[in-house]
Structure 1
Amino acid sequence: MEPQKINKGDRNKIYFLVIVIAALIGTNAYLFFKDRQQSERFVTVSTEKDKLRLEVEKIEVELDKVNALNLDLNDKLVEEQKLAREKIAELKVALEKGQITQGELDKANAQIDELKTFVKNYNDQIIQLQKDNTFLKNSRDSLENAIKNMGTRATNLETENTALNAKVKTAAALKVKDADIIAFRTKSSGKKVEVTKSSTAEKLSVRFNIIPNELAEKGHHNIYLRVFDPAGNLLAEDSNRFEADGQDMQYSHSIFIDYNNDETTYTIDWTNPKPFIKGIYTVILYTDGSTMGKAQIDLR
């Protein structure tokens, strides 16, 4: 059978169809690769934005750590942190945009690098501030301990001085060596007559010597007498008061003596404001706030 011949018009149609098909294939390939590049570009931009957000969050966490330390920041550090947080807020707003250009990403990257440098320097300043605070605290504690120790030492010295002064005062106190009491009455002639009966006694005369004491202060000393009757009643006026042995007391009579650390015998006459009664009368002597000694007499 003889092959069918293709006329020139059919051949041209075939060529046209081949060209159309090739063009469609090329267009589809172009669109495919273009879409793929756009998809990859979107993924790259999205990933970059997420990475920048993470960096911003890290920087913000570092600043939050500083605040958690509760340090007393100076005005300069407070202002620096304020500016950094304002920049962070601006970056967050920029990164939340739906679309962002590569230039904007590059600018954000540069700003984040600046913030990283700032945070590093800022943390270095905070670390130094902590060291300074620790040093100051240790210095303050050492000073407080030194002051406390000095206070304790001063208190101990004061206690020792008080005890020493008490010992010196005790050692320097005047004490009666021996004492005796006589009762007497005065005759109309003015002569004093010693008596032993309460009915005839008018006054008591206390005679005493003082133990020699080189530590005792020489010169005038006020001597106080307290006289007790046989019933134990103190014979004294309420207005007559003095201090001795840490107590406020009443006294029956007082005189001044001139002490010279010698064998002088001192005499004190006391008039009873009441009639004498039978029994033992007791006289206690005091001077310079302490007891000197005592003596007694038995009246019949």
Structure 2
Amino acid sequence: MENQPEQNSNSRKNSNVIYFLIVVVVALLGTDVYLYYQKRGTDEKVVYQNDEKTRLQTELDSLEAQIQQVNSSKTKLTADMIAKNDSLQTKIKYLRVQLAKGKLTAAELSKAQEDVKQLRYFVTKYTADLEELKKQNASLTTERDTLKTNLATVSTKATSLEAENKDLNTKVQVGSALKTSGMTAVSYKVKDNGKESTNDKAKNVKKLKINFTVVNNTIATQGMHDIYVRVIDPAGNLITQDDSGTFSADAQDLQFTYKTSIEYKNDDTSYTIDWLNPTAFQKGAYTVILYADGFTMGKTTVTLR
């Protein structure tokens, strides 16, 4: 009977040890579970960060490709567009450097996400602005081509009008030029005392009297007109003097034999031009041609025997 209390005491000690061991085991199990879930959470965070970094890098690739695509067009960028493009490229490079870091804190990852979001907005706006610029350039090109066409049309019309005006001026000049009526050339003998008489013998003739009437012309300018005389001998040579000059008529430059002037009044006035031959007359036909206002005025011949 005396051993029973001792046995009971040992039994209680054993129970306490067991309880202690149970508590220790439970505590260890709790710690393992905590560490497991903590590690699991950390692993999940790492996986999430890696996945998010990959997604952001992929989006940067997409945004950069989008920028390159819109820049590949031949649209000439404005200074503002060039500055925006440079800014976007710089931002992409910066974000690539940030995402290339081994680990990102939650704050850094959040900032990278926000930066990419803003970058996406700016790239979208940049693309829209460039498309608008392309439309404006296309519109300007169309306007330029239209202006070129209109200018060519106006130029053609101007050339046509200029030609018509030139033709009209020519017609006016031709129409306003003086023309002779009843033009004759009469040969004269001149005596030493100055007395004149008609004569058709070449050896006696000293001068020609060129007689003519100017045809009435309402568009001809009244007043003084230069008259150029050309006398061609029987051999076909133009008779000239040392002071003979040149003039323009019938679209060519000609040398004259004699030059004088008449006053035109559009009143059927008759005119006479006296011409003394500086050399001896020859037998044959002499041709006399008058010019005024750049055109042939009249023509006649006189024959000497």
Q: Quick check: 1:185 aligned with 2:173?
A: no
**C-alpha deviation, 1:86, in angstroms:** 1.9
Structure 1: gaps spanning 5 or more residues? 1-7
Using the alignment, how far apart are the partners of 1:198 and 1:245 within structure 2?
A: 32
How many pairs align?
288
Report the equivalent of 1:218.
Answer: 222
**C-alpha deviation, 1:37, in angstroms:** 6.0
Report the AA paired with residue 153 of structure 2: N
Alignment partner for residue 242 of structure 1, among 240, 244, 247? 247
SS in 2 for 1:263: coil
Alignment partner for residue 122 of structure 1, among 106, 126, 151? 126
Report the equivalent of 1:287.
Answer: 292
**C-alpha deviation, 1:41, in angstroms:** 4.5
TM-score, reference length from structure 1: 0.84
SS in 2 for 1:160: helix
Report the AA paired with residue 83 of structure 1: S
Q: Alpha-carbon deviations, 1:217-253, whole Å to 9, x = none?
A: 2221111110111000000136421111121111011
SS in 1 for 2:83: helix
Q: Alpha-carbon deviations, 1:139-195, whole Å to 9, x = none?
A: 333333333332222222111111111111112221122211111111233210111
- For the 8 Å contact 1:212–1:262, the answer to whether it is kept is yes
Q: How does 1:1-300 map to 2 (within 5 A)?
A: 41-237=45-241, 239-300=244-305
**C-alpha deviation, 1:73, in angstroms:** 3.3
SS in 2 for 1:98: coil
Report the AA paired with residue 156 of structure 1: S
SS in 1 for 2:108: helix
- For the 8 Å contact 1:285–1:291, the answer to whether it is kept is yes
Report the AA paired with residue 253 of structure 1: Y
Q: Alpha-carbon deviations, 1:252-291, whole Å to 9, x = none?
A: 1111111122332211111111111111111111000100
Report the AA paired with residue 101 of structure 1: T
Report the AA paired with residue 135 of structure 2: K
Using the alignment, how far apart are the partners of 2:74 and 2:247 within structure 1?
A: 63
Percentage identity across paired residues of the two chains: 40
Structure 2: gaps spanning 5 or more residues? 1-10
Using the alignment, how far apart are the partners of 1:190 and 1:170 within structure 2?
A: 40
Report the AA paired with residue 259 of structure 2: S
TM-score, reference length from structure 2: 0.82
**Bigger Cα displacement from structure 2, 194-203 vs 180-189:** 180-189
Using the alignment, how far apart are the partners of 2:67 and 2:304 within structure 1?
A: 100
- For the 8 Å contact 1:237–1:251, the answer to whether it is kept is no
- For the 8 Å contact 2:225–2:261, the answer to whether it is kept is yes
User: What do you get for the CA RMSD once the two structures are aligned?
Assistant: 3.0
Q: Alpha-carbon deviations, 1:5-28, whole Å to 9, x = none?
A: xxx9xx99xx9xx99999999999
- For the 8 Å contact 2:234–2:284, the answer to whether it is kept is yes
- For the 8 Å contact 2:228–2:290, the answer to whether it is kept is yes
